[in-house]
Amino acid sequence: MSIYNKTTIIAVATSKLPAGVGIIRLSGPKAIEVTESLAPSFKNEKNRFMHYCELVHDGEVLDKVMVVKFKAPHSFTGEDVVEIHCHGSTAVLNKVTDVLLSFEDVAPADRGEFSKRAFMNGKMDLTEAEGLCDLITAETDQQRKQALKQLDGALGSQFENWRQEVMHLLAHVEASLDFPDEELEIMEQANLKGKVEALIAQFDKAISQKAGQRLREGFSIAIIGKPNAGKSTLTNLLTGKDTAIVSDIAGTTRDVVQSHLDIAGFPVVLQDTAGIRQTDDVIEAEGVKRSYKSAELADLLLLVVDSSEINNIDEDLLKQLQPGKSIILSSKSDLVDAKIPASLNYQDNEYKIIDVNLTDDSSLDKVFPELETMLKALFKDAEDGAFLTRKRHTNAVIEAKAHLENAMKLYNNPVVAFSLADLLAQDLRDCAAKIGEITGKTDVEDLLDLVFSTFCIGK
């Protein structure tokens, strides 16, 4: 039985904009009953089949609809669920919803409440619920793929495997409590140290991989260079619209201008930065400071250089580029031979150099393939496995790792040999609890509102 054994919730599950079809979803103990009161012909119809009905209230036909019911526990929420497929006008959806809400113990759903009930009734874990939210909001193909993988339980399974490994080690440690004279021997036989160290290494790898969060938030690409190098023109070319102001006046761009792109299915946050130069203008100097900060934090860098005017600022920027994560865009074909200092080892292909004409859209045919290659390289390490997609995942793994590291300090310290097993057991319990918090295996009441408040109404 559902833990929500009184209230039936209702919401429009589709957009409230006028459409051919609008779906009203109900979940709870009265979902089927109140629907049948409006459509008596629906009463004896089969479960999980669409049925044509007229919704009638006080002798008035509200709409001609298609209705399907899902009896508990075989539904999305684990409760009785009904979906009413109405005509999608605002008037119809509002009228049918108002009538349904007039029944006792029927209430409007909160944001994400259907998914929250699915979690509370054991239909999905928290990572799967987050995957569902990501799938609903996915804007690129790679986001769609990642969200589906998480919704299918790939990430939750990884966390559960880790938790089970820790619980297995905990069982050995607790078993040694019954044989205090053989504590270390029992732990050594279980290879406690080796297994804990292996888990720490897995946690380190998961923490270091940023691909999951980048897929949700966007890979950052910073465009840097001197004033009037063509950064804003390049931004407008890449976005296909007048995103940034283009002017011959140096210092026009004084802040970071962000645009969102889809490059080969990868979400990208493109950053057009202020031109870098020495200046006495306080506002422009702050813009330059932000440019450097954007370059430091960016996943990829695009350095725009006019090779006819190379100076010490260009050379300083060239030295700060990261091999494998930087592209130099030159407006002069002789840049490689004449202008880039040999000390930068450009001949070893540390940086991709592309000759572009910023007044010609065809230049993008050279730039986009290189960006796609670099984005795929950033994603490659995590492509085959599950990876952390939210800050809360990362924070929990960091804390779980700290418990394991403390356990290793105790294990390697002969001074705490007395009651060693008790101390180790506590650290392992805390580690398992922290991992379980991610999927909802342990008490996470404080997290639920945070997780499900990001959902839309009706999901």
All structural domains of the chain: 8-109 (3.30.1360.120), 131-209+389-452 (1.20.120.430), 215-383 (3.40.50.300)
Q: Residue 274: what pLDDT? A: 87
Segment 90-107 mean pLDDT: 96
For residue 364, pLDDT beyond 80: yes
Cis previous bond, 73, omega within 30: yes
pLDDT band at 89 (very low <50, low <70, confident <90, very high): very high
Chain-wide mean pLDDT for the chain?
Answer: 84
pLDDT score of 346 more than 70: no
Residue 349: Cβ-neighbour burial (10 angstroms; 0-12, 13-18, 19+): exposed
* Least confident piece of the model among 164-173, 207-216, 316-325: 316-325
Across the range 282-311, mean pLDDT stands at: 84
SS3 327: strand
pLDDT class for 1, splitting at 50, 70, 90? very low
Question: Does the pLDDT value for residue 144 go beyond 80?
Answer: yes
- pLDDT-wise least confident of 263-267, 276-280, 340-344, 446-450: 340-344
Model pLDDT, residue 229: 80
pLDDT (mean) for 8-18: 91
Listed range (41-45, 234-238, 308-312, 438-442) with the worst mean pLDDT:
308-312
Residue 132, amino acid: L
pTM of the shown model: 0.79
Q: Which of 138-152, 175-189, 412-426 bottoms out in mean pLDDT, i.e. has the lowest?
A: 175-189
Q: What pLDDT is recorded for position 444?
A: 55
pLDDT above 50: residue 155: yes
The pLDDT of residue 314 is above 70:
yes
Q: What is the largest CA-CA distance in the chain?
A: 87
The Cβ of residue 87 has, within 10 Å, a number of other Cβ atoms equal to: 16
Nearest alpha carbon to residue 98 among 33, 22, 11: 11
Burial 423-446 (b: 16+ CB within 10 A, else e): bbbbbbbbbbbbbbbbbbbeebee
Q: What is the pLDDT of residue 414?
A: 61
Q: Token pair of 369, please?
A: 């393939």
